[in-house]
C-alpha cells in the first residue's frame, strides 16, 4: 500500500509543498520524502519509482529452476550393469522352463529333478560370505566378471552333461558364480547410486532381470523343438557376451567411495546388525525369498495342475503374470521409495503380495487365480526397490559392504530353500490352502519387522 503514492503524491501547487497532508498515505506518507527534496523540481519525487526494480519479485522464484537438479543422470557404470542384467536374465529364461525336464530325461523322479533347482540356491547360500570377502578385496568389476564367466562355463558343461550326477555338479558350480556376480553388482550399485536415486536405480536393475525372464521363455518356446541342450549353449554364449561387456566398460571402475577412494574400511556385518533398518531388511528378505523365489516357483505350478483343467498351461500363464505385474510396478515403486522413504512401499508391497498369495491357495476360479497372480507380482515389485535401497542406505556412499550385502542375500536364499520344503510338507498333510496361508503369514511378519524402524535419510 506504500508504493502507489509516490507518483501521485506531490501537489502541483508550490504553496502546498511544505504542508504535510496525510490524506494520500497517512503518517509516513510522501510529504516527508517530498519535503526532503523541496529545493528540487517537482519531478524529483518521481525518482523512487525506478528504485523498485521489477527483478526483485522473481527472486523468490529462483529455487524453482533448481527442482530438476536432484534428477541426476544414472551413472554409466550402472547402465552397463543393467544391460548385462538383461542379457543374463534372457539367457536364464531360456533354460528355466526346460531344466527340470532335462533332469528327468536322465530317468530320475520329480524330487530329484527339483533338487537341480535347490542345489543352485544352496551353493549360492553357502558361497555368499566368500563372495562378499572377494568383493571387498578384489573389487566389484573383477568379481562380477569372474562370477559371470563361472556361470557361463557351468552352463556350457550342463549342456554337455552325460548323466544326472554331472548335471547336479555343474548346476552347483553355477550357483557359486551366481552369488559372485549378484553380490558384486549389488555392492557396485550401492556405492555408485546417488542417494536420491537408489530406489529408482534398484527398480531399473530388477526390471531388467524381469524383462529378460519374461522374454527368455518366449524365445525358449520357439527353440523347444531343437532339444534340451541347445538352450544351455545359447545361455552360455550370452553370459560370455555379458562378461565381456562388463570387462571392457567397467575394468577401470575400481573400488571405494565415489570421489574418496578407501575413505573408510568396509562395513562389517556386526556393524550393520546394529542398525534397525538392516535387521528389518534381513527379515523381509527372508520372507520375500520364501514366497517369491520359493513357494511361487515350486508350489504355484503344482497347485494349478491339481486344481484346474489344463492347469499346466495356466501355471505358465500365472508365472508370466507374476513377472509382468512385478515389472510394471518396480519403476514406479523406485521413485516412491526415493520420495517418501523405504518403509511405506516395502511394508505395503509385501503385505499386498502376501495377502494375494494367501488368496491363491483358496481359489477355484481361473480368472481369480490369474488376477491374484498379477496382484501378488505387483506387490512384490513394489517392495523390491525399497528393500535393495534400504540396504544400500545402511552402507552409505563412502563405504563398501560386500559382506553386508552377502549376508542379506543369504537371508533371501535361505527363505528360497526352506519355503518350498516346509510349505510343501504342509501342502501334503493339510492342503494347499494352509501352505499358502503360512506363506502369507511369513510375509506379513516380514512387513511387521519394519514397524519399529525409524525413517532414515539416504546417506
> Read out DSSP for 361-405?
TT---HHHHHHHHHHHHHHHHHHHHHHHHHHHHHH-TT---HHHH
Mean pLDDT of the region 186-198: 80
Among candidates 35, 170, 28, 162, which has minimal Cα distance to 106? 162
Residue linked to cell 548385462: 84
202 and 274, same domain (yes or no): no
Domain containing 147: what range? 72-258
* Extended beta strands in 3-121, E state: none
Alpha helices in 12-109 (DSSP H): 30-36, 76-95, 99-104
For residue 1, being part of any structural domain is answered with no
Q: Between these two residues, 206 and 176, which has the higher pLDDT value?
A: 176
For residue 27, tell me if it sits in a domain.
no
Q: Give pLDDT tens digits for 25-76.
A: 444 444 444 443 333 444 444 544 555 444 443 333 333 333 444 466 788 8
* 79 found inside a domain: yes
Q: Is residue 205 part of a domain?
A: yes
pLDDT band at 434 (very low <50, low <70, confident <90, very high): very high
> Are 113 and 247 part of one and the same domain?
yes
Domain match, 216 and 285 both: no
Domain co-membership, 215 together with 350: no
* Domain termination residue (choose one: 206, 223, 258): 258
Using the structure block, give the residue that is written with the C-alpha cell 536415486.
Answer: 197
Has residue 204 got a pLDDT over 60?
yes
Number of domains in the chain: 2
| 61 within domain boundaries | no
Same domain, 338 and 200: no
| C-alpha distance from residue 21 to each of 16, 40, 255 (Å) | 9, 19, 77
In this predicted structure, the answer to whether residue 252 has a pLDDT above a threshold of 80 is no
Burial, 231: exposed, middle or buried (Cβ in 10 Å; 0-12, 13-18, 19+)? buried
How far is residue 159 CA from its own chain's centroid? 32
Residue 430 covered by a domain: yes
Alpha helix ranges (H) inside 42-109: 76-95, 99-104
Q: Which of 235, 205, 206 is nearest to 220 (CA)?
A: 235
pLDDT of residue 456: 54
Residues 300 and 248 in one domain: no
Is-contact 240 86, C-beta < 8 A? no
Q: What are the angstrom distances between the C-alpha of 68 and each of 64, 196, 339, 383?
A: 8, 12, 14, 26
**For the whole model, what pTM was predicted?**
0.68
Amino acid at each position: 500500500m506504500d508504493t502507489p503514492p509516490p507518483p501521485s503524491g506531490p501537489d502541483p501547487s508550490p504553496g502546498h509543498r511544505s504542508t504535510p497532508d496525510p490524506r494520500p498515505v497517512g503518517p509516513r506518507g510522501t510529504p516527508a520524502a517530498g519535503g526532503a527534496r523541496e529545493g528540487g523540481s517537482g519531478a524529483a519525487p518521481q525518482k523512487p519509482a525506478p528504485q523498485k526494480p521489477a527483478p526483485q519479485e522473481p527472486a523468490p522464484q529462483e529455487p524453482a529452476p533448481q527442482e530438476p537438479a536432484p534428477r541426476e543422470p544414472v551413472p554409466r557404470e550402472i547402465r552397463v550393469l543393467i544391460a548385462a542384467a538383461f542379457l543374463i536374465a534372457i539367457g536364464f529364461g531360456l533354460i528355466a522352463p526346460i531344466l527340470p525336464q532335462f533332469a528327468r530325461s536322465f530317468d530320475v523322479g520329480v524330487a530329484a529333478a527339483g533338487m537341480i533347482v535347490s542345489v543352485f540356491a544352496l551353493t549360492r547360500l553357502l558361497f555368499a560370505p566368500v563372495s562378499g570377502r572377494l568383493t571387498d578385496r578384489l573389487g566389484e568389476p573383477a568379481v562380477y566378471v569372474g562370477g559371470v564367466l563361472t556361470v557361463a562355463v557351468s552352463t556350457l558343461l550342463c549342456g554337455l552333461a552325460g548323466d544326472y550326477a554331472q548335471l547336479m555338479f555343474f548346476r552347483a558350480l553355477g550357483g557359486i558364480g551366481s552369488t559372485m556376480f549378484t553380490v558384486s553388482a549389488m555392492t557396485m550399485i550401492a556405492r555408485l547410486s546417488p542417494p536420491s536415486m537408489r530406489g529408482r536405480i534398484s527398480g531399473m536393475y530388477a526390471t531388467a532381470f524381469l524383462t529378460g525372464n519374461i522374454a527368455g521363455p518366449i524365445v525358449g518356446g520357439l527353440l523347444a523343438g531343437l532339444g534340451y541342450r541347445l538352450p544351455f549353449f545359447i545361455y552360455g554364449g550370452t553370459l560370455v557376451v555379458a562378461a565381456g561387456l562388463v570387462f571392457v566398460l567397467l575394468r577401470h571402475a575400481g573400488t571405494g567411495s565415489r570421489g574418496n577412494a578407501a575413505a573408510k574400511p568396509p562395513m562389517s556385518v556386526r556393524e550393520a546388525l546394529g542398525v534397525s533398518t538392516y535387521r528389518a531388511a534381513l527379515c523381509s528378505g527372508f520372507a520375500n525369498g520364501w514366497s517369491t523365489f520359493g513357494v511361487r516357483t515350486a508350489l504355484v505350478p503344482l497347485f494349478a495342475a491339481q486344481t484346474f483343467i489344463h492347469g499346466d498351461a495356466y501355471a505358465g500363464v500365472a508365472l508370466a503374470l507374476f513377472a509382468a505385474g512385478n515389472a510394471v510396478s518396480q519403476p514406479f515403486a523406485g521413485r516412491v521409495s526415493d520420495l517418501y522413504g523405504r518403509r511405506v512401499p516395502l511394508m505395503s508391497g509385501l503385505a499386498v503380495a502376501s495377502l494375494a498369495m494367501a488368496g491363491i491357495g483358496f481359489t477355484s476360479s481361473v480368472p481369480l487365480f490369474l488376477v491374484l497372480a498379477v496382484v501378488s507380482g505387483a506387490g512384490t515389485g513394489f517392495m523390491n526397490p525399497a528393500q535393495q535401497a534400504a540396504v544400500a542406505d545402511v552402507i552409505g556412499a563412502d563405504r563398501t559392504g560386500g559382506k553386508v550385502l552377502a549376508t542379506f542375500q543369504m537371508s533371501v536364499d535361505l527363505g528360497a530353500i526352506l519355503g518350498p520344503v516346509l510349505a510343501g510338507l504342509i501342502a501334503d498333510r493339510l492342503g494347499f490352502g494352509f501352505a499358502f496361508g503360512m506363506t502369507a503369514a511369513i510375509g506379513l511378519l516380514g512387513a511387521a519387522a519394519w514397524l519399529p524402524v525409524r525413517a532414515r535419510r539416504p546417506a
